[in-house]
A and B are shown apart, each in its own frame.
Chain A
Amino acid sequence: MTFQDATGSQNNLGRYRPPLFVWLPASLVALLVLLPPVYLGVRTFTAYEAAWDLLANTRTLAIVGRSLLLVILVTAVSAVLGVSLAWLTVRTDLPLRRVFAVATALPLVIPSYVFALLVVVALGPRGMLQGWLEPLGVDRLPEIFGLPGAVLSLSLLSYPYVLLPVRAALHGVDPAMEEAARGLGRGAMATFATVTLPLIRPAVVAGGLLAALYTLSDFGAVSLLRYQTFTWAIFIQYQTAFDRTAAAGLSLTLVGLALSLVVLESRTRGRAVHYRVTPGMVRRRIPISLGRWRWPALLYVATVCGVALLAPLGILLFWVVRGVSAGEPLALLWSNTLSSVTVSLGAAALAALAGMPIAVLVVRFPSQVASALSRLTFVGFALPGVAVALAFVFFATAVLPIVYQTALLLLLAYLVLFLPASVGAIESSLRQLSPRLEEAARGLGRTPAQAFRSVTAPLLMRGILAGAALVFLLVMKELPATLILSPLGFQTLATSVWGAASEAFFARAAMPALMLVLTASVPMAFLVTREGR
């Protein structure tokens, strides 16, 4: 076991140039992620005066402030929920923890516009909850619109971004470290605070960054819950004035905002490097006994699952039943499900492929260029899907019309949108692996490529799968890029939900929404049941 600081020479490979199989794919990906900002630049600077007027507007500044407030609150709540739920479901003897391990991750797959719609229906001033409380004399519920509703919805939708990497990190932590602390007389809480938390801190911060950027880019929830953010303002430009210039100017500003968050993340992640040389776990971990906290902990986890997952599913099911009893045909939408799964799988595999070289570059060959590249990958994640999609429309029709409206272009757009989810998971797995392993393989005469394939890649499995699963889920619910870039006639579950819900046909929207969540739970269950091995 090694435990040392990055200020020491942690990496003997650092003096080598990155091999071709790392830098070539990494540069291709870099070109791809640069497309949206370049497009936005082109659009903005063709009429920069108008864009500048809009930006200098005091109202715009207020909107930036509101966005940041929302981002801070959502990230904080997500971190608390994500870390506590991960710890409870990985480390303790919580009852039904396998079930909860899957269930707590699933809210991620609910599209934000669906979740927000359900929040309004359930918790609106005269919503379902008010209806149940009416006999008790509750005439009106407190206002859900604005900041409270937006924080509630986005926190419940984005805590899985923290939960998933923290789960993986908790599994990767060598139990010997915590046992040593316990052996030295620390209590369970003190051990968690002084040993476990520092070890999982990079995962918490990386997950928090994804939650923050997701919040920044969300339009569905904030528009329905009427909290005016930056992305909302961007959409308004597209929607009201068909004004691509103003929208592009605002989007570029959003890129700047996102990059500052990314830099902030790398500053707060901490410099310490922790890894073990022994790849596998030496022996099984003994779950921490919750003792008398067992039932309160169960209540807590069940409440989160209830509010974030069961309640939305319940309302959707209620809509389906009401629709069917009113004569609505029960369509199971197998072909849409198949389409969703197909593109999501393809995008997940592509993101794993593209994520590996970038993660290797960043972790094993650290340099200015490498860290700039890894920061750039976050741009697409923070931008509204429309802006990324229009960038692809612009470049594809002008430069490579043959790929326009093909699945290839769609997968590439998904890659730009969701790459950080994959890179982040692979990166944190790689940071837990000692470079000594690859050095040993090199010492035994393997080429860098062989060493990566035979030693590193198999040990990175957990990270690669976790990243791929996350991308799969994100693509399942992606809407704006799917609508704009998909091949003609291509329909996914997400597009069906949107098509029906936007016209107030809730019964018809409920079925694809349910199928979306159910389909997505399959890879999630696979991931969770495998991750401990």
Chain B
Amino acid sequence: MHLNDLARLLRLRRALFAHPLLLIGIVLLSLSAVGCGADDDALVVYSGRSETLVQPVMDQFEDLTGIEVKVKYGATAELAATLLEEGDGTPADVFFAQDPGGLGAVEGMLSPLPAELIGGVPGWARSPSGLWVGVSGRARVLVYNPDRLSPTELPDDIWDLTDPKWKGRLGWAPTNGSFLTMVTGMRMLWGEEKTRGWIEGIVANDPRTYPKNTPQVQAVADGEIDIGMPNHYYLYRFLAEHGEDFSARNYHTPAGGPGALVMVAGAGVLRESDNKEAAERFIDFLLSAVAQQYFAGQTFEYPLVEGVKTNRLLTPLDEINQPTIPLASLSDLSGTTDLLRSAGALP
């Protein structure tokens, strides 16, 4: 080979890296490697509950029924916004949400579930029109640091946290979905004025604001705050990972009220689903003893159907002084955020 040809060849190879055709090739290769979407028979679930927690349930359902399940995981609020943008064009069959607020936001897109399917779930934990059903229960609790406080020093009612003696000792996550639902419940139980008084009282106590529940529980164990207001199950995950000397414990306010509200993660079937039969079988499976046992044992939540035992680490549901309001009535989220905003808890 002539020396000039060799030089040209070498230059050519260098140029190749930036050659548009090569770049187009990489793009196409990437597209084909990812492949696209599910086939039409697959059940499409949008899950606001994380993969770590619910993928085993999906797998079991697949094994049991042979129906392929395709899941889109995300945060409940973002998935709800996605569903609303998709509108009737949504590919989703089922929406599995962290909290009733997420389900309420897309209620207009859900189709009623058959009564025999959801009849086993207590009335407070499902939509009265059957648009969605609670799958597992989650209790609002106070989490405290046992090295710094004994249960006897803790308040009977969540209202008592407005006492100035708690100034600088509290933490909360006012943007968390469960917290917002609790405040909605508070408005129903206490009325607007008392609820505003509670929010202002807490704000006056200078609480530390957390983006969500996990860092709140961590902060209690670290002694950064004395009391936090999360859901009950985060603690057990920390205990499982860090062991018994993790310095945080749950406390259910004995006087009941909004501080003792029990909420649910729930699911609904999309009206535009072209796979309703499989979708309803999926809901049925979530309410089966197998899946309920999984939620009780592995995610430390409360089972919602008869005959499934609550995890022995948890305070049984009937020992919690749970207020009697149906969760479906807690849908006025914008009223709650308006109130929190005007009381200075949210921007």
A residues sitting closer than 8 Å to B (CB atoms) are 57, 59-60, 63, 120, 124-127, 145, 223-224, 226, 228, 233, 236, 238-244, 322-323, 326, 339, 342-343, 345-350, 352-353, 356, 386, 389-390, 393-394, 397-398, 401, 404-408, 410-411, 453-454, 457-458, 460-461, 464-465, 480, 483-484, 486-491, 495-496, 499-500, 502-508
Within the complex, what minimum Cβ distance (angstroms) separates A37 from chain B?
A: 16
Q: Do B71 and A407 touch across chains, with their CB atoms under 8 A apart?
A: no
Q: Which residue of A lies closest to B33 (CB)?
A: A342
Identify 27 residue pairs between A and B in the complex whose beta-carbon atoms are under 8 Å apart, listed by A's number.
A59-B347, A241-B337, A242-B80, A242-B81, A323-B241, A342-B30, A346-B31, A356-B20, A404-B89, A407-B35, A410-B34, A453-B19, A457-B15, A458-B14, A458-B18, A460-B18, A461-B14, A483-B74, A483-B75, A484-B74, A488-B44, A499-B73, A503-B237, A504-B214, A504-B237, A504-B238, A505-B237
Closest 3 CB pairs of A and B: A346-B30, A407-B34, A349-B26
Name which of B49-57, B119-127, B322-330 contacts chain A.
Answer: B49-57
For B105, what are the chain A residues with a Cβ–Cβ distance below 8 Å? 242
Q: Which residue of B lies closest to A461 (CB)?
A: B18
* CA gap between A243 and B222 in the complex, in Å: 34
For A343, what are the chain B residues with a Cβ–Cβ distance below 8 Å? 30, 34
Chain B interface secondary structure, helix, strand, loop or mixed?
A: helix
For A454, what are the chain B residues with a Cβ–Cβ distance below 8 Å? 15
Beyond the given pairs A60-B347, A242-B105, A488-B44, 5 more chain A to chain B contacts, judged by CB atoms under 8 angstroms and listed by A's residue number, are A124-B222, A244-B85, A453-B20, A487-B36, A500-B52
| Residues in B58-97 with C-beta less than 8 Å from chain A | 70-75, 77-82, 84-87, 89-91
Within the complex, what minimum Cβ distance (angstroms) separates B147 from chain A?
A: 11
* CA gap between A506 and B23 in the complex, in Å: 38
Q: Do A236 and B347 touch across chains, with their CB atoms under 8 A apart?
A: yes
The verdict on B234 contacting chain A, using a C-beta distance below 8 Å, is yes
User: Which of A236, A241, A345 interacts with B333 by CB under 8 Å?
Assistant: A241
Within the complex, what minimum Cβ distance (angstroms) separates A55 from chain B?
A: 12
Q: Do B334 and A243 touch across chains, with their CB atoms under 8 A apart?
A: yes
Q: Do B237 and A404 touch across chains, with their CB atoms under 8 A apart?
A: no
For B334, what are the chain A residues with a Cβ–Cβ distance below 8 Å? 241, 243
Q: Which residue of A lies closest to B214 (CB)?
A: A504
Q: Do A464 and B81 touch across chains, with their CB atoms under 8 A apart?
A: no
Q: Which residue of A lies closest to B180 (CB)?
A: A240
* CA gap between A388 and B173 in the complex, in Å: 26
User: Which of B51, B75, B84, B91 interacts with A491 by CB under 8 Å?
Assistant: B51
Q: Which residue of A lies closest to B83 (CB)?
A: A393
Chain A interface secondary structure, helix, strand, loop or mixed?
A: helix
* CA gap between A124 and B15 in the complex, in Å: 50
Within the complex, what minimum Cβ distance (angstroms) separates B210 from chain A?
A: 7
User: Which of B73, B86, B209, B347 interacts with A397 by CB under 8 Å?
Assistant: B86
Q: Do A236 and B346 touch across chains, with their CB atoms under 8 A apart?
A: yes
Within the complex, what minimum Cβ distance (angstroms) separates A306 from chain B?
A: 24
* CA gap between A394 and B78 in the complex, in Å: 14
For A352, what are the chain B residues with a Cβ–Cβ distance below 8 Å? 18, 23
Q: Do A502 and B91 touch across chains, with their CB atoms under 8 A apart?
A: no
* CA gap between A484 and B17 in the complex, in Å: 32
* CA gap between A488 and B224 in the complex, in Å: 40
* CA gap between A461 and B22 in the complex, in Å: 13
* CA gap between A352 and B24 in the complex, in Å: 10
The verdict on B215 contacting chain A, using a C-beta distance below 8 Å, is yes
Q: A404-B89, A405-B91 are in contact. Are A489 and B71 (CB under 8 A)?
A: yes
Q: Do B214 and A507 touch across chains, with their CB atoms under 8 A apart?
A: no
The verdict on B211 contacting chain A, using a C-beta distance below 8 Å, is yes
| Residues in B180-197 with C-beta less than 8 Å from chain A | 180
Q: Do B210 and A339 touch across chains, with their CB atoms under 8 A apart?
A: no
Q: A242-B101, A352-B18 are in contact. Are A411 and B30 (CB under 8 A)?
A: yes
Q: A404-B91, A406-B37 are in contact. Are A242 and B51 (CB under 8 A)?
A: no
The verdict on B11 contacting chain A, using a C-beta distance below 8 Å, is yes
Q: A127-B222, A488-B91 are in contact. Are A120 and B34 (CB under 8 A)?
A: no
Most A Cβ at <10 Å: residue of B77, B81, B89, B224: B81
Q: Do B23 and A496 touch across chains, with their CB atoms under 8 A apart?
A: no
* CA gap between A283 and B33 in the complex, in Å: 44
User: Which of A243, A326, A347, A461 interacts with B241 by CB under 8 Å?
Assistant: A326
For A505, what are the chain B residues with a Cβ–Cβ distance below 8 Å? 52, 237, 241
* CA gap between A241 and B233 in the complex, in Å: 24
Q: A457-B18, A489-B38 are in contact. Are A349 and B27 (CB under 8 A)?
A: yes
Q: Do A386 and B78 touch across chains, with their CB atoms under 8 A apart?
A: yes
The verdict on B177 contacting chain A, using a C-beta distance below 8 Å, is yes
Q: Do A224 and B52 touch across chains, with their CB atoms under 8 A apart?
A: no
For B35, what are the chain A residues with a Cβ–Cβ distance below 8 Å? 407, 487
* CA gap between A352 and B223 in the complex, in Å: 50
Q: Do A406 and B36 touch across chains, with their CB atoms under 8 A apart?
A: yes
* CA gap between A490 and B51 in the complex, in Å: 12
The verdict on B9 contacting chain A, using a C-beta distance below 8 Å, is no
* CA gap between A236 and B333 in the complex, in Å: 13
Q: Do A499 and B222 touch across chains, with their CB atoms under 8 A apart?
A: no
Within the complex, what minimum Cβ distance (angstroms) separates A328 from chain B?
A: 9
Q: Do B81 and A238 touch across chains, with their CB atoms under 8 A apart?
A: yes
Q: Which residue of A lies closest to B30 (CB)?
A: A346
* CA gap between A465 and B44 in the complex, in Å: 38
The verdict on B314 contacting chain A, using a C-beta distance below 8 Å, is no
For A506, what are the chain B residues with a Cβ–Cβ distance below 8 Å? 241
Q: Do A349 and B30 touch across chains, with their CB atoms under 8 A apart?
A: yes
Most B Cβ at <10 Å: residue of A503, A504, A505: A504
The verdict on B175 contacting chain A, using a C-beta distance below 8 Å, is yes
For A508, what are the chain B residues with a Cβ–Cβ distance below 8 Å? 52
* CA gap between A507 and B79 in the complex, in Å: 26
For A398, what are the chain B residues with a Cβ–Cβ distance below 8 Å? 89
Most B Cβ at <10 Å: residue of A239, A323, A326: A239
* CA gap between A120 and B85 in the complex, in Å: 35
* CA gap between A496 and B51 in the complex, in Å: 8
